[in-house]
Amino acid sequence: MKKLFLILYITFLILSANETYALPVFARKYKTSCATCHVAVTKRNAFGEAFRRNGYFMPERDAQLIKEPPLRLGAEAWKELWPDAIWPSTLPGNFPVAACVRMKLEYITEKPQTGSQFGFSLPSGYSIFYAGGFGENIGFLGALTQNGLGRFYFRINDIIGGQHNVNLKFGLMEPGITDGFTVNQHIILEDNGIWNYSAHGGFSAYNTRPAIELTGILGHYLQYCAGIANGEAGFLKKPFDNKHGYGRIAYKLFGYGMDGSGILEDTTNMDYWTDNSLTLGFFGYFGNTTKTDTSNKNYNNEFNRFGFDARLKLGNADILGGAIFGKDKNPDNTPNSLSSLCYFVGCDYIFYPWLLAAVRFENGLSGFDKKDDENYYKFIPNITILYRQNIRISLEGLFEIKGDLTDGERTIQGDTKQAFKRFWFNWFVAF
């Protein structure tokens, strides 16, 4: 019966939804609309969140839903012969690749000394994704961008206990503390503050780095992760560098389960984006990074980050917020320590399946001790139109005020003359 409900649910989305970007790899694999998992690029609905948390497998992992047959490596009967036979597996039926391209037209309010106030970034960025699975419980995802390898990781599901309880994830990836405030939660394309805030050039949560992580869902509504990561971000960067530790725990009140429970049984919800619920998450990150000062002398900076994230979904509204608190003991090889705080709150609203709007407020503060490095206020409005299933148009503005910068005995006045900084017209295509 659950399989029947799932098939009916996906069929409804195919027939009724106007949504743009999901990883087309999975749209092709399951022969389904991107709206099965997404509201708009790259914002996921409850089903999409469950699909991601399950390692890019359908919540019930039903092989009958796969419409692009995989290449089988061994027969199912080999399972009964193990350990006297190799456990069977599969390869994706076609090479699992998808591409996303972003075009951007930009207007800046401050007239430059040379050049124009209008900028054409055509394209402004691209990503080539490859994703899929081997057999029933091993998934992978990677991305190439204009800056090189952005991420590549594997995930092995259900290594201990029941389904979804304990999973192993390893590779080049963002630390799991970002799960509650990633770019995939927002309509606004500009990264949110706690995702990329870096006090005095220190740690930023969004930087991908080699890591090993245990993650899982307990009782459908409690999610956890614990991991160890390289101190140096990026691909093939100092593999024997200092190791960092991190963890996150989150609980969802009401709504569908984090693993997708309840979605298959609910045949009354015709708005595929609706999931009335409240999710609260708390995280911590601890590290010691080797840095170099102006005289090329190496030194260690021990630091920590703590924070929380919250998400309230009511009907067509999705209210998100979070904060990250930081402490760097030795950010610049001086006796000065550094405290920092960044927080944001925003709201996405769906007027029609093809017309969405969002606003977000951010505040970054650093220099609670003797160092004042980065202080700002941001307000970002956005209007998004889903022009086609795989084409999104968005209009986005930036209002920003920067606070004063104190460096020793000097005080540099902040940027307060013109709050409206720029305007973007974005065209995003996935194929």
pLDDT digit string, tens, across residues 128-173: 888 777 777 888 888 888 778 888 999 998 888 778 889 999 999 9
The answer, yes or no, to whether residue 344 has pLDDT greater than 80, is yes
Looking at residue 136, its amino acid is: E
Name the amino acid, one letter, at 429: V
Greatest CA span in the chain, whole angstroms? 76
362, two tokens: 């951010």
Q: Model confidence over 73-87: pLDDT tens digits?
A: 777 777 777 887 887
Q: What is the pLDDT of residues 190-238, one digit of tens each?
A: 888 888 888 776 788 888 899 999 999 999 899 999 999 998 887 777 7
pTM, rounded to two decimals: 0.81
Q: Residues 411, 412, 417, 420: is their CA dihedral positive or negative?
A: negative
Cα–Cα distance, 314 to 197 (Å, whole number): 28
CA distances, 128 to each of 24, 33, 102, 200, 236 (Å): 11, 20, 12, 32, 20
Helix (H, G, I), strand (E, B) or coil at 410: strand
Higher per-residue confidence, 275 vs 270: 275
Q: Which helix (H) or strand (E) element contains residue 157?
A: strand 148-160
Tell how many helices (H) and how many strands (E) occur in the chain. 5, 22
How does strand 391-402 pair with strand 420-430? Answer: antiparallel
Q: Mean pLDDT, to the nearest integer, of 50-59?
A: 70
- Identify whether the C-beta of residue 172 lies closer than 8 Å to the C-beta of residue 149: yes
DSSP secondary structure code for residue 192 in this structure: P
Mean pLDDT of 21-33: 57
Question: Do residues 228 and 210 make contact, with C-beta atoms less than 8 angstroms apart?
Answer: no
Least confident of 53-57, 125-129, 360-364, 420-424: 53-57
Structural domains in the chain, sorted by start: 2-430 (2.40.160.10)
Phi first, then psi: give them for residue 109, nearest 5 degrees. Answer: -80, -30
SS3 assignment, position 325: strand
Between these two residues, 110 and 268, which has the higher pLDDT value? 110
Give the confidence band of 293 by pLDDT, cuts at 50, 70, 90.
confident
Distance separating alpha carbons of residues 344 and 340, to the nearest angstrom: 14
Residue with tokens 């080049």, as numbered in its chain: 172
Q: Quick one: CA torsion of 346, 349, 353, 354, rounded to 10 degrees?
A: -70
pLDDT reported for residue 84: 75
